[in-house]
Structure 1
Amino acid sequence: MMGPVLAACLLIILSTAWISQANGATCKKDGGVCTCNDNTKSVDCSSKGFTAIPSNIPVETTELRLGFNSLSKLSPKAFHNLNKLTFLSLGNNQLQTLPTGVFDHLVNLNELRLGTNQLTSLPPGIFDKLTKLTRLDLSRNQLKSLPDGVFDKLSQLQKLYLQENQLRRVPEGAFDSLVKISEVQLYGNPWDCSCRDILYLSNWIREKKGTVSNIEAAECDGGTKAVLDVTEEEAAEDCVYPNTTTAIPTTIITTLASSNDDDIPELPVPQENFQKFLGYQEPDHLPTQPQCLMSISGYLGLMMSLVLTSAAILYVIHFLKKA
C-alpha cells in the first residue's frame, strides 16, 4: 500500500512548488528580477522594463529604486503597504500624472525622486503627508504650474529641485514653510518677469540669497535678466494663466463671438480623452513583462499539477483493482 501514499506525497510537493511560482516574485532569490538586500532592506528594480509597480515588494523595504523603467502611470494604492520607505526613486520614467493620495502612506519618507518624467501638473496636497521629507526632486519634467500650498507641509525639506520645467511663476507664499531649505534649483524655467506674480519669487530670492544655494540662477524668459533683479515697474501686468480660475479676458470673448464658424479651427481631441468619453479606462495596475512570464509559468504549473493528480488517481484505482 506504500505505492499510492508515495505518489500522493510527490503530487502534493510538485503542486505546492508550481502554485507558489504562479504567485510571482520580486526578488531574484525568489525567482524575480529585482535585487533585494535583506540587511539594508533595499529593493533595486531599476532598468527592468517595468510598466507597472510590482505588487509583491516586501513590506519591510526601506529603500525602493524604480528608476529607468517605462512607468507611465501609477495606481493610487501602489505604495500603500510600504509605510517603512525612507527612499523612493521614480526618476527617468514616463510618468505623466500622479494620482491623488499615491504617497499618503509614506509617512517616513526622507527622499523622493521624480525627476526626468513627463509631469505637467501636480495634484493639490500630493506631498502633504510627507512631513519628514528632506529632499524632493521634480526636475526635468514639463510642469507648467504648482498648486497653491504644495510645499506647505514640508517643514523639514532641505533640497528642492525644480529646474528645467515650464514654470512661469510660483504661487504666493510657495516657499514660506520651507524653514530648513538650503538648496533650490530654479534654472531652466521660462519665468515670466512681466507679470506681478513674479514679484514673490524675486523678493524671496533676494531675501534668501547667500543662505539658499543656486537660487540666483533663475532667469527671466529669454535670458534677458535674473529674476532677483526684476523691479515692480517691470512686473506691472496682471497676467492670466490657463491654470487659474480668473475670468477669460473680454478681448478674447469678443473675438470668438465675432468669428465665423468657418474661421474657428478644429481642435484635436487627444486619444486619451476620446477613450474616456467612450467609457474606456485602463486598469490601474498593469502586469509587467516579467510578471506575465511568471504568471504563464504558474498556469502551466497548475495544469501540470492537474495532470499529475489525474495520473495519481488512475494509478491508485489501478493498484486497488489488482489488490
Structure 2
Amino acid sequence: MMGPVLAACLLIILSTAWISQANGALCKKDGGVCTCNDKTKSVDCSSKGLTAIPSNIPVDTDNLKLDYNKLSSLPDTAFHGLSKLTYLSLDNNQLPAFPVGVFDHLVNLDKLYLTHNKLKSLPPGVFDHLTKLTILGLGENQLQSLPHGVFDKLTELKELSLHSNQLKRVPEGAFDSLVKISEVQLYGNPWDCSCNDILYLSKWIREKEGKVNGIESATCVNKKAVLEITEEEAAEDCVYPNTTTAIPTTIITTLASSNDDDIPELPVPQENFQKFLGYQEPDHLPTQPQCLMSISGYLGLMMSLVLTSAAILYVIHFPKKA
C-alpha cells in the first residue's frame, strides 16, 4: 500500500507546483497572458481584462503597456523595482485616484500616459521623482483641481494634456517650471473666468501664444477665450471648497455681517447641499476581487483536479488488481 500512497502524494505535489508556476506566469511563452519581447525589453498587457497589475514583471522592462484593462486601484508598490521603465501606459482604465508615491521609483520614465480614466484628483508630489519625463497625458479624466507645485519638478516636459477634465483654474505658477514645454492641451475644461485666480492662466497663455501649441483653445464657461480675460472681468476673489463650486467672498462677507433676522429662510435641496460640502456618490462599488488568475491558471486547476482524481482512483483500485 505504501507504493500507491507515495505515488498519489507525489502526483498531488507536482500538480500543485505546476499550478503555482502557471498562476505566476506573466508572458504567453510561459503560460501567461502578456506579450513579452526580450530584445526590446517590452511587456504588453493591453486589453487583457486585468483587475490587478501582474506581480512578476521583469525588473529590466523598459516599455510597459497596461492600457485598456479594468484597473480601478493601484497599490503604492505597484511599480517598485521597475526603475528602468521609460514608457508606461495606463490609458483607458478605471482609476479614480493614485496612492502617494506610486511613481516614485520610475526615475527614468520618459513617457507616462494616464488618459481616459476616472481620475478626480492627484496626490501632492505625485510626479516629483519623474524628472526625466517629456510627455504626460492626463486628458479625458475628471480632475477638478491640481495640487500646488504638481509640475514643478518636470523641467524636461515637452507635452502635457489636461483636456476634457473639470478644471476651473490652475494654481498660481503651475506652469512656470515647464521651461521646455511645446504643447499643452487645455480645451474641454469649464474654466471659471469670473474669479481673479484665472488671471495667471490668462497671462501665461498670452505670453506663450505662438510658442506653445494647444493653449489658445482654452475657453471660459461663457465661451470667451481665456487669453482675452481682463482684470475687470475676473474681479471676484473666489473660495474653492473640495468641489467644483466657487463662492465669491463678497457673498460670504455679506452673509456673515447680516443679522439672522434679516436673512430669508430659503429651502436648500439636499443634493445641492451635499454637492457644496464635497459629497459625491461613488461611481461604482467593487463588484469583483482585485486579483488575476490567468487562463493558464484555470487550466492548471483543471489539471490538478484530474491528476488528484487519478491518484485517488489508483489508490482505491490498486489492491484489487494486486
Provide Cα deviations, 1:11-53, integer angstroms capped at 9, x if missing partner.
5995486245344312111111111111111111111111221
**TM-score normalized by the length of structure 2:** 0.80
Aligned residue number for residue 102 of structure 2: 102
Q: By how many angstroms is 1:137 displaced?
A: 0.4
CA distance in 2, matches of 1:32, 1:253: 64
Counterpart CA distance in 2 for 1:229 and 1:42 is 46
**Number of the residue aligned with 1:229:** 228
Secondary structure of 1:228's counterpart equals helix
Counterpart position of 1:278: none
Q: Could you say which residue in structure 2 is the equivalent of 1:79?
A: 79
Change in CA separation of 1:259 and 1:253 when aligned onto 2, cut-off 3 Å? farther
Query: Could you say which residue in structure 2 is the equivalent of 1:30?
Result: 30
Separation (CA, whole Å) in 1 of partners of 2:264 and 2:110 = 54
> Residues 265 and 216 from structure 1, CA distance in 2 versus in 1: closer, same or farther, beyond 3 angstroms?
closer
What is the alpha-carbon root mean square deviation over aligned residues?
A: 3.7
Distance 1:42 1:252 in 2: 60
Runs of 4+ off more than 2 Å: 10-17, 19-24, 243-255, 257-260, 262-273, 292-315
Once the two structures are superposed, residues 241-295 of structure 1 have per-residue CA deviations (whole angstroms, 9 ceiling, x without a partner) of 123999993566799x8787x955445776759x9xxxxxx7xx8213xx25544
Q: Once structures 1 and 2 are overlaid, which stretch shifts more, 129-138 or 188-197?
A: 188-197
1:18–1:301 CA contact under 8 A, matched in 2: no
1:78 maps to amino acid: A
* SS at structure 2 position matched to 1:207: helix
Corresponding residue for 2:241?
242
Q: 1:135 to 1:23 in 2, by over 3 A?
A: same
| Structure 1, unpaired ranges of 5+ | 276-281
Q: How far apart, CA to CA, are the structure 2 residues paired with 1:120 and 1:20?
A: 37
Gaps of 5+ in 2: none
Name 1:205's counterpart in structure 2: 205
Q: TM-score, normalised by structure 1?
A: 0.80
TM-aligned CA deviation for residue 138 of structure 1: 0.4
Q: Are the structure 2 counterparts of residues 20 and 314 from structure 1 closer, same or farther at C-alpha, using a change threshold of 3 Å?
A: same
Q: What SS class does the counterpart of residue 121 from structure 1 fall into?
A: coil
Distance 1:59 1:254, change over 3 A: farther
Separation (CA, whole Å) in 2 of partners of 1:217 and 1:307:
67
Count of aligned pairs between the two proteins: 305
In the aligned structure 1, how far is the partner of 2:143 from the partner of 2:280? Answer: 19
Shift of the alpha carbon at 1:136?
A: 0.2
